[in-house]
Amino acid sequence: METPTPSRLKSARKAAGLTQQQLGMALGMEPNTASARMNQYEKGKHAPDFLTMKRIAKELDVPVAYFYCEEDTLAELICVLGTLTEKQQKKLLGILAEKQD
């Protein structure tokens, strides 16, 4: 099974309005290699390590879990939940837990 990371990375980068080079440079990559390196990540030829993914997630303003979630709907939920405050997340978690009972 293919990892969802490459396609999610490309999607999040485009949603942020960044080119591969702009994202790579924002992460501290050299200007002459930033685009090629990000392209390799988006094509799945190379996988960034977890710390790099955390930096990418921060730069693209999405939770790092978004890149690893296999189900598209759950990935979307993760992004929505990531916009909530911790207090709002806990409140929602309580509501959902009540629904399960």
Domain borders along the chain are 5-100
For the chain, give the number of residues: 101
> What is residue 54's predicted lDDT score, i.e. its pLDDT?
98
CB atoms within 10 A of CB 47: 13
> What is residue 1's predicted lDDT score, i.e. its pLDDT?
59
Fold classification of 5-100 is: 434 Repressor (Amino-terminal Domain) (1.10.260)
Query: Which amino acid, residue 89?
Result: Q
Could you tell me the pTM of the whole model?
0.86
d(CA 63, CA 56): 10
For 37-47, what is each residue's pLDDT tens digit? 999 999 999 99
For 74-98, what is each residue's pLDDT tens digit? 999 999 999 999 999 999 999 999 9
Across 7-35, average pLDDT = 97
> What is residue 100's predicted lDDT score, i.e. its pLDDT?
82
